[in-house]
Amino acid sequence: MIRTIKAASATALAIAFLSSAATAQTIKIGVNEPLTGAFAASGTYVVNGAKIAADEINAKGGLLGKKIELVIEDNKSNPTEAAAVAEKLITRDKTPVMLGAWGSSLTLAVMPKLVEYETAMVVETSSASKITTSGNPYVFRISPPSFVEAAAFKNIVDKLALKKVDFLVINNDWGRGTAEDFSKMMKEKGITIGLIETMDQSAQDMSAQLAKIKATDSETVIITAAVDQLTLIFKQAAALGLKKRIITTGGSQNPDQIIAQAGAAANDTMHLTTFLPWMPEKTPNPEATTYFINEWKKRGFDFAGCTESFRGYDGIRTIAAAIEKAGKAEPAAIKDALWKIDVKGLNGDIIFKKSGPAGQESGQSFPNVYLVEISGGKIVMKDL
């Protein structure tokens, strides 16, 4: 692990040197991700995924006869810095298109810059609905906002015979959005909504919330949190003897890590996810998935990172397809081309549909959503 991180830093350093000596022989793509601060782990995963896509494209001869070059900048998990990074990528590095910026507040802070410089950004992870509904025509999102997940989950709630449901969600746009959209959908289905509990982004001890949930009469808990917090929740729920069905949402959870770290506590839990690295044959694009996973392992990264990093991989491939279609690496042409692409992504077809106020719509792609269950320490796919 130490070695891979050092190698990654060395690569970053090399890229920094290359970019200062860059010529017009490359097509630049800006990457605005958190590499330090609270979201460092996730941002690094996405960047590693993006690099795999860039290397793959370059190995096949690049785009429009040129190599592509990722200009990777750290936004320090800080909205002010995210906006500054966008400014740098667009005005200094002259990147005609960007990928970013992981968290919703980071993405939202970049959005005014996109309008100012008329440059498009592909959003790979952020889930806040505001991103595509506030009338910013330069935003193209490939990750699903929570209402898309809720809509997909709607088909299975009857089969699961849910009656009363509690929520335990991370206290940010992602968790709050999930609680809102899922409870709306469930109420329509006649399911009773019990508690909606939140936990701080950095909290490590959720025993108090879980003790409260343990005391209710609901039979199911829906949990939205990143993988580290999920693992802790499973351990702590088991320690408290909480015996309710657990369903997680969000798609950046990682059942492998949960099995490895929570052990027996993870059994019989269900997870809504958007990518299936455990069964490449069942993904919409098995060939690409297999290539991506092999490459990921070859580079010595944690397998657990796949469910985050594939977004970076898909994001760069989306951008590459748009540049190809545009026929030139210019901001306006790429932005128009993003509307016309049809990429076979690792989690479904990436086709942008219009979203938000008429005349200045943002692009939103609708990936597949899957439900997997951990059973006997193994991951099994359930039909939706």
Partner 1 sequence: MKQIVTLLCLAFFASVPIWLTDPYLLNALITTGIFIIGAMSLNLLLGFTGQLSLGHIAFFGIGAYVSALTSLGFDVPIYGDFHIVHVPWPPIAGFFLAIVISGFCGYLVGRLSFSVRGAYFVIVTISFAEVVRLVALNWVELTQGPLALTNIPSITIGLPGLGYLVLKTKFHNYYLVLAVAAISYFLISRLVHSHYGRAMRGLMENETLAVAVGIDVTKTLTLAAVISAGIAGAAGSLYAHYIRIIDPDVFAFISTVTMVIMVVSGGKGSLAGPVVGGVIFGLLPVFLRPIMPPEAQWITYGVVLIVILFVMPRGIVPSLAAKLGLARAGGTRRASVAVSERTAEEHA
Partner 2 sequence: MDQLLQHLVNMLVLGGTYALLGIGLTLIFGIMNVVNFTHGILYTFGAYMMFIVVHQLGLNFFVALPVAIVAGWLLGAVIEITLLRPLRGADIDTTMLVMIGAWIAMQSGALWIWGGVAKSIDNPFPDAPLVIGPVSVSWLRLFVLFAAALLIVLAYSLINLTKLGKAMRATFQDSDTAALMGVNVSLIYTSTFAIGSSLAAAAGALLGPVYVVFPQMGDLAAVKAFAIVILGGLGNITGAVIGGFILALAEELGAGYVSSGYRDAMGFLIIIMVLIFKPTGLFARAERVG
- Alpha-carbon distance 54 to 11, whole Å? 13
Member of 42, 95, 125, 172 binding partner 1 (CB under 8 A): 172
Span 122-161, contacts to partner 1 by CB under 8 A: 128, 130, 134
Task: Write the single-letter amino acid at 216.
Answer: T
4 or 80: CB nearest partner 1:
80
Task: Round to whole Å and give the CA distance between 143 and 285.
Answer: 17
For partner 2, the closer of residues 161 and 215 by Cβ is 215
Residues 192-251 that bind partner 1 (CB under 8 A): 198
- The C-alpha atoms of residue 172 and residue 199 are separated, in whole angstroms, by 9
Name which position in 29, 46, 63, 74 contacts partner 1 (CB under 8 A). Answer: 74
Q: CB–CB of 77/105 below 8 Å?
A: no
User: Residues 24-52, buried b or exposed e (16+ Cβ, 10 A)?
Assistant: eebbbbbbbbbbeeebeebbbbbbbbbbb
d(CA 207, CA 198): 12
User: Given its phi and psi angles, is residue 39 left (phi above 0), alpha (psi -120 to 50 degrees) or beta?
Assistant: alpha
Helix axes 104-117, 173-188, angle to 10 degrees: 100
Q: Does residue number 235 form part of the binding site for partner 2 (CB under 8 A)?
A: yes
Judged by CB under 8 A, which stretch of 172-180, 260-268, 277-285, 312-320 contacts partner 1? 172-180
Q: How far is the CB of 306 from partner 2 (least distance, A)?
A: 13
Between 43 and 345, CB nearer to partner 2 = 43
73 binds, among partner 1, partner 2, none (CB under 5 to 8 A by kind): partner 1
Residue type at 85? V
Q: How far is the CB of 201 from partner 1 (least distance, A)?
A: 9
- Phi first, then psi: give them for residue 8, nearest 5 degrees: -65, -40
Cα(264)–Cα(234) distance, integer angstroms: 10
Residue 84 contacts partner 1 per CB under 8 A: yes
Q: Extract the tokens encoding 325.
A: 């279609």
Rounded to 5°, the CA angle 147-150-151 comes to 90
Query: Residue 23 or residue 202: which is nearer to partner 2 going by CB?
Result: 202
Smallest gap from Cβ 233 to partner 2, in A, equals: 11
The DSSP line for 99-126 is EE-SSHHHHHHHHHHHHHHT-EEEE-S-
Q: Which one among 4, 64, 92, 208 touches partner 1, defined by CB under 8 A?
A: 92
Minimum distance, C-beta of residue 3 to partner 2, in the bound complex (Å): 11
β 67-74/26-33 pair status: parallel
2 interacts with partner 2 by CB under 8 A = yes
Helix (H, G, I), strand (E, B) or coil at 317: helix
Stretch that binds partner 1, among 100-108, 208-216, 275-283, 329-337 (CB under 8 A): 100-108
How far is it, in rounded angstroms, from Cα 327 to Cα 338? 12
Q: Which is nearer to partner 2, 267 or 375 (CB)?
A: 267
83: buried, middle or exposed (CB in 10 Å: 19+, 13-18, 0-12)?
A: buried
Where in 166-225 is the site for partner 2 (CB under 8 A)? Answer: 171, 197-200, 202-205, 207-209, 211-212, 214-215
Counting contacts by CB under 8 A, is residue 355 touching partner 1?
Answer: no
Query: How far separated are the first and last CA of the chain, in Å rounded?
Result: 37
The helix/strand/coil state of 127 is coil
Report the partner that residue 177 touches, choosing among partner 2, partner 1, none (CB closer than 5 to 8 A by kind): partner 1
Residues in 236-295 that interact with partner 2 by CB under 8 A:
238-241, 260-261, 263-265
Nearer to partner 1, 126 or 307 (CB): 126
Binding partner at 173 among partner 2, partner 1, none, C-beta below 5 to 8 Å by kind? partner 1
Considering only 69-77, 263-271, 303-311, 367-375, which stretch makes contact with partner 1 by CB under 8 A?
A: 69-77
Tokens of 267: 């059994």
Interface residue list for partner 1 (CB under 8 A): 9, 12-13, 16, 20, 35-36, 73-74, 76, 78-80, 83-84, 87-88, 91-92, 104-105, 108-109, 111-112, 128, 130, 134, 171-173, 175-177, 198
